[in-house]
Chain A
Amino acid sequence: MLYIVLFFTFFSFFLYVLLGGADFGAGIIELFASPKDKETARNISYRVLGPVWEVNHIWLIILIVILWVAFPGYFNVIMIYLHLPFVLILLGITLRGVAFIFRHYDAVVDRSQVLYNWMFRISSFITPIFLGMSFGALIGGEIIITEDYAGYSFFEIFIDPWLNYFTLLVGLFYATLCAFMASTLLIGETQGEARKMFSRKSANYTLLLVIIGLILVAYGYFTEVEFILDFITNPVSIGAIVLSAILLIPLWKSIRKQNRIWSRWLAGIQVVLVLFAAIYAHFPYIIITSEKELSLLEGVAPDEVISNLAIMLIIGGAVILPGLFHLMRSFNMIKILEKEKEEMKP
């Protein structure tokens, strides 16, 4: 039963990183695009992400609920020591969500659109950075777990662990990853000029991603971040990374050919490989503090709770996944397939 819960934990984690990430990415692309491209990106992100964007973010709620139900000890540490970045993340999610809905559902289209647009773009960029920084803090080895709060300064306990160069790099890495996923996804949803734009952006973001990734690993190596050291000495992780590096070649080819289906799959697989590599080397010790490594399984909930949760997740999954699949098919995949049919007819 524990394995079912673990499966759903990582399933929702990966889906949030992928789908929620692509969602953030659409806003990031908009932020860094030229004024003309901004307009294109805005319209496309509404059409493609509109029907599913809210769903994408529910994976985060599912993940949080699983964490607190099944891994309360782990959740407790995150919630106490990463309070501040999570406040910023929540602020970002809130502003971004309302900005998206305001700009598309406001009955009057006027100058307030400018405000909504910038609110949406900036929060789309900031939120994944703070998400990345929080993850970076968990693995960065700077968290001090203590009962003696008077013995340390506020900065030492509540700020330093998540605000340093390493976490900033992780944050930037995730934000770039989001932009990379979004641009690759959107290649398949557009035509003509817009499609060329996303292909170009996708290639650029892939390059940027590889560069930041290398800097991140190098920085972690030279400052002896334990997570990185273990990561680059674990054969399975290295294997996964090598595989994802090899896959870069067909990915670039398919992006250049503007192949919608392949580039999407390859990008998805690559992201999962990198995440897998990162987590595998350390599983189940996913919090690394200044003194010790904390296991996800430390303070795991009692068996009855785990079994109950597993059953709930299976029932929930059985209800949700077909519906979700149908939703995506109704608004994305079918449209693509139909368009392809149309294109085939000269």
Chain B
Amino acid sequence: MENVDFARLQMAFTLGFHIIFACIGMVMPFFMVVSHKKWLNTRNPLYLELTKAWQKGVAIFFVTGAVSGTALSFELGMLWPEFMKHAGPIIGMPFSLEGAAFFVEAIALGFYLYGWDKLPEKFHWFTGIIIGLSGVASGILVVSANGWMNAPSGFDYINGEFTNIDPVQAFLNPAWFTQALHMTLAAFVATSFAVAGVHAYQIYKGRRIELHKKAFKIAIVFGAVAAILQPISGDLSAKDIAKRQPVKLAAMEAHYETQKGAPLFIGGIVNEKEKEVNYKIEIPGALSFLAFGDFDAEVKGLNAFPQDELPPVAIVHYAFQIMVGLGTLLMLSGLFYFLSTRKKHWQSKKKYWLFFTFLAPLGFIALEAGWVVTEVGRQPWIIHKIMRTKDAVTPMPGMEFSFYMYVLVYVTLAITVTWLMRRQIKVLNASKY
């Protein structure tokens, strides 16, 4: 492997890590304020206990997300100096706004964490709302910057020079809306199912059932609603990609030959050499319909594009299958939850809680797979059709050592945070009310 491959691995690894922590830090405040509100309304001490337990989770994830985010803001320049030199000024607007939103979030978090019994009750609760809203705003802004890499706009590219820069147009690039919507919903799905799963496991184990049922209910409602909305957003994204990045769509579907009434492949093993997909399930005309809303529409295949502009097809195809498969499962689980609120006796069965425990990691797996689709699917470009990834990488050799070091540090961090969360739950279970 070359330097650029290690730089890409490091970027993928650190981003993949940051995404998990950032999503939890972004969504958990919403659970916290709901529980806090219920405490204010009902004065049931269980809600206060839950709010304080979740608040510790928010603090730990916020900091881990913040430091890994700081690392990323440097890494963009350290790994891809050529990219940042040209792209930095163009996509500066979402980043500077994101800095502001992040700042607001940190200030609000300072108020919230240290404000118990010091601030007026309502104002204190309100600072929690600000944490949530500014977190979501940060997420949307960062995704907008990523959207620009998929749909570069707001400049003229003449003889290798970027001129006539319009930062507002770059910020509101054609990809930003569908990407931000999909990502925000995904963050809610993944975090909610993960948190609900953790509490479901406690109920399954028969520990402090009343407390954990309250926690489960708050989290799962967010997740179920988001999971049911997600396919609509997915459809918008697919239609958008079909227009803007047809090669990415073709890779997602491992669709080699241009054809009218293109079939949708489900599963299958990609043979990149022979350019075919074996052992797949075919649904005739479905790809044309999903991409263009017309069963007979022509869908361009991978063979219609220059061969040096193709992304690694197999990775993108598998990641896409994983994302859609798990997304569908979670959507059905969301419907199942709402159904179960009508059939109370289901919830008394242990299997019910085991099922939701099993769902806990799936949202995040789907979310990571989604990022693989959008990032690997854009290769070999770092800026779609403008700059290749290999031309953006740092001239410094030895990126493999940097990659190994980051893996070591981040894996240790991930293990530690998991361990800390287990301790939080143990303490929560051990306290008596």
Bitwise, B268-300 to A at CB < 8 A (1) or not (0) is 000000000000000000000000000000000
Give residues 41-56 of A contacting B (CB, 8 Å).
50-52, 54-55
Binds B, one of A23-31, A208-216, A223-231, A306-314: A306-314
Q: Knowing A86-B78, A330-B119 touch, does A301 contact B70 (C-beta < 8 A)? A: no
Binds A, one of B29-37, B199-207, B246-254, B418-426: B418-426
Q: Which residue of B lies closest to A95 (CB)?
A: B409
Task: List 11 contacting pairs A-B, 8 Å CB cutoff, sorted by A.
Answer: A57-B66, A58-B106, A75-B85, A76-B77, A76-B84, A90-B71, A97-B64, A105-B60, A301-B88, A308-B93, A319-B104
- B167 and A75 contact, CB distance less than 8 A: no
Give residues 62-98 of A contacting B (CB, 8 Å).
62, 64-66, 68-70, 72-73, 75-76, 78-80, 83, 86-87, 90-91, 93-95, 97-98
**A3 contacts the other chain (Cβ, under 8 Å)?**
no
Category for how many chain A residues contact B:
35 or more
In the complex, what residues of B have CB within 8 A of residue A108's CB?
423, 426-427
C-alpha spacing A302/B92, complex, angstroms? 12
Q: Which residue of A lies closest to B56 (CB)?
A: A105
Binds B, one of A164-172, A263-271, A320-328: A320-328
- B409 and A91 contact, CB distance less than 8 A: yes
In the complex, what residues of A have CB within 8 A of residue B404's CB?
none
Q: Knowing A68-B84, A69-B92 touch, does A316 contact B99 (C-beta < 8 A)? A: yes
- B107 and A320 contact, CB distance less than 8 A: yes
In the complex, what residues of B have CB within 8 A of residue A57's CB?
66, 70
**B325 contacts the other chain (Cβ, under 8 Å)?**
no
- B416 and A65 contact, CB distance less than 8 A: no
Q: Given contacts A61-B70, A65-B99, A108-B427, could you give 14 more A-B pairs where the C-beta distance is less than 8 Å?
A: A54-B106, A57-B66, A61-B69, A64-B74, A65-B73, A68-B95, A70-B89, A87-B402, A87-B405, A93-B71, A98-B413, A101-B64, A301-B89, A301-B92
The 6 closest A-B pairs by CB, nearest first: A69-B92, A316-B100, A79-B77, A68-B88, A301-B89, A107-B427
C-alpha spacing A23/B16, complex, angstroms? 29
In the complex, what residues of A have CB within 8 A of residue B400's CB?
none
Bitwise, B57-100 to A at CB < 8 A (1) or not (0) is 00110111011111101111110011011101110110111011
C-alpha spacing A102/B67, complex, angstroms? 13
- Chain B nearest Cβ from A48, distance in angstroms: 11
In the complex, what residues of A have CB within 8 A of residue B89's CB?
68-70, 72, 301-302, 305
Bitwise, B137-174 to A at CB < 8 A (1) or not (0) is 00000000000000000000000000101111000000
**Which B residues form the contact surface with A (CB < 8 A)?**
56, 59-60, 62-64, 66-71, 73-78, 81-82, 84-86, 88-90, 92-93, 95-97, 99-100, 102-104, 106-111, 113-115, 118-119, 163, 165-168, 394-398, 402, 405, 409, 413, 416, 420, 423-424, 426-428
Q: Which of B86, B88, B398, B427 has the most CB of A within 10 A?
A: B88
**A331 contacts the other chain (Cβ, under 8 Å)?**
yes
- Chain A nearest Cβ from B55, distance in angstroms: 9
**Which A residues form the contact surface with B (CB < 8 A)?**
50-52, 54-55, 57-58, 60-62, 64-66, 68-70, 72-73, 75-76, 78-80, 83, 86-87, 90-91, 93-95, 97-98, 100-102, 105-108, 149, 154, 158, 299, 301-302, 304-305, 308-309, 312-313, 315-316, 319-320, 323-324, 327, 330-331
In the complex, what residues of B have CB within 8 A of residue A65's CB?
73, 92, 95-96, 99
Q: Knowing A69-B88, A69-B92, A107-B56 touch, does A80 contact B394 (C-beta < 8 A)? A: yes
